[in-house]
Amino acid sequence: METRSRPEKIKLQLPSDVLIEPAPAGKTLDEMLVNGEIHGFVGPRNPPSFDSKNPNIVRLFPDLVGTASDYYRRTGIFPIMHLLGLRKTLADEHPWLPAALFKAFNASKNLAIQSLLDTAAPHATIPFLSEHIESAQELIGVDYWSYGLSGNQHILKYFLEHHHRQGLSSRPLEVEELFHPGALEQFSV
């Protein structure tokens, strides 16, 4: 967004009908957005022009929560936020490690959520935080950031279908191919 002439990090083999055009040398995506040279931007954080309240830069979906909630109700999909990767050689050498990492990260997530819900000593200074969490749990379920395969299989399947259709994978993949056999074991934490 703010880096000029940033090279693509991953070599892509896209279908012939998908065209990627890099930003011109010396320009940032944020500058191009402000100048009307591009009409939109999707990224991991807001562009600086949005954060600085440029009146010409707005969200594509003004009611972000309402739009995402409606999408979840229709599809059962709430996008996965992050993932944990582990070298296959390390998992092969220590087949217990994927399940142990899953168990540790899941326990950590549960502790973090419990601390967010602790209204006696809040860990985040966000107004109505517990009400936001309760609202998310009402819509998505108590485990609204589900970890592991069982709670995310339908999302991963949908993702892989689009991944292949968009030319990002050379063949259709099965969800189980993404996981080391040791990671497929489930634990109750």
Read off the pLDDT of residues 141-174 as tens digits, 9 standing for 90 and up.
988 888 888 889 999 999 999 999 988 888 999 9
Residue 187, pLDDT > 60, answer no
pLDDT the model gives residue 186: 58
Residue 26, both tokens: 């010396």
Q: What is the rounded distance in angstroms from the CA atom of residue 51 to the CA atom of residue 143?
A: 31
In this prediction the pTM is: 0.76
23 or 58, higher pLDDT:
58
Closest residue by Cα to residue 10 from 166, 161, 168: 168
pLDDT value, residue 96: 92
